[in-house]
Amino acid sequence: MRPPRGTLEHLIRTRWRYWYLGLRKALALLQATWIAYSKPIPASCGQLLTQVLLCGALALAAASLTYCWLASSLLYPLRPSAVVATVCGLLAFLGLVLVPPARCLFALSVPTLGTEQGRRLLLSWSTATLTVAVVPNVLANLRAAGQVLRCVTEGSLESLLNTTHWLQTGSQALGPDGQAGSQGLTLQAQGDSAAAFRLHVLRVTQQVLEDFSSLESSARVVALGTQRVVTGLFMLGLLLDSAWYLHCYLTDLRFDNIYATRQLTQRLAEVGATHLTASPPAWLLWAARPRLSQAELLSCLVRLGLFTLLLLAMAVTVALDHVAFLLAQAAVGWARELPAVPVTLTIKYDAKYTVLGFIPFLFNQAPPENPYLSAHNSFQWELRFTAPGCPLLPAQRPHTATLLAAGALQLVACSTVLLETYARRLRHSIAASFFRTQEARRVRHLHARLQRRYDRHRGQPAQPQDASSCS
């Protein structure tokens, strides 16, 4: 039975109102939490407790990420990694709780990833991660293919020498009687020369494998060291860029002061100067409007084209890793499936003689044959194309998790092209939340700058402009 139409509409409205009220409560809770976090001095015990809990959660997250980086990505021992992560977590907690600019610096580091500097750091980290994963893996697969070549060469050479040995044994088994009628089977194998040739081939293949092994080890050490250095520089660069922004925000009123914020709108409404933003300049950005201009969109498209080339280079590198793995896997599988070929050498020797054989020939008859010597020998051995004492190395699979992490970093760097404008706005909003007095001075400075522009367009003399200290 279907409910009445009025009842269904009432149910939908009730549910929508319930979700709307829940969303408003969640936003109000987040806003209150952010106010408590950005307060230099908490106004109440509740704000102090909220601030301490937030700082503790952030410090715990920082310690966990530090441990994962040290133990999993950078391959440091577990116990030193845990000690370093614990010390970093404690220092982060004390710094966040006791130093308000440290909280601002920690919050600024998130939108900094969306700027050009953060994009460069992400690309550097992604490239280092990809290099660490691909280069040693490709060298390991080449080493496995070289081991297959060595085993096949050694096994084929041993089979050849073994065949020569059995042929020589078969020729010797005929004995001196096989020289009847001035005809015989002569086979001589130079054992010393064959052994020297075998040792030379094995020495060459072993030297090639040792070169690949040393190159692989060097590549792993260099790649791991590069990843460690790049990770440290990534974190240091992120913090330094955030600190530079905060320093310029606090010391230069003109730095990044191009946003028409709610504080500016309220100030212009209070003094009756809303006409200053009636025809705003091109450099003035409305912080509350998420729409991008055509120039910003065109710039984003050009940068996305460059990132497409980087993604193609990354795809080629990953494809090379997979091709090397497939080739090594096919070579190792082929070598393991090579069968041993059984060989049987049967020597049957019958010697006969005739006496006065021309007399039966005159009567057109076959001369009678008298048996003289009969020898029957059989020798069996196997042809093995891989040496039994030569172990085959397994093919190394591509590190899918690392490759996915590098690809995710590349995609995040690509997304920052579109999100750079919003990241800059968010960074300004975060700094304004922590330093409200400084933001009020910056709003007054921006008001004066708009007033000077308005007076200049009306032909009135403009006031002198302050010099900037940060670009």
**430-459 per-position pLDDT tens digit:** 888 888 888 888 888 888 888 888 777 776
User: Tokens 């700058």 map to which residue?
Assistant: 449
**54-98 per-position pLDDT tens digit:** 888 888 888 888 888 777 766 778 888 888 888 988 988 888 888
Mean pLDDT score across all residues of the chain = 75
For the chain, what percent of residues have pLDDT higher than 90?
Answer: 0
User: Is the entire prediction scored with pTM above 0.85?
Assistant: no
**96-151 per-position pLDDT tens digit:** 888 888 888 888 888 877 777 778 777 877 887 787 788 888 888 888 887 787 78
What per-residue confidence (pLDDT) applies to 179?
Answer: 47
For the chain, what percent of residues have pLDDT higher than 70?
Answer: 70
What per-residue confidence (pLDDT) applies to 133?
Answer: 80
What per-residue confidence (pLDDT) applies to 212?
Answer: 60
Q: How far apart are CA 335 and CA 394, in angstroms?
A: 11
**207-262 per-position pLDDT tens digit:** 666 666 676 677 667 766 776 677 677 778 778 888 888 888 888 888 888 877 78
Is residue 15 over pLDDT 50?
Answer: yes
What per-residue confidence (pLDDT) applies to 420?
Answer: 78
**338-357 per-position pLDDT tens digit:** 777 676 767 776 666 666 65
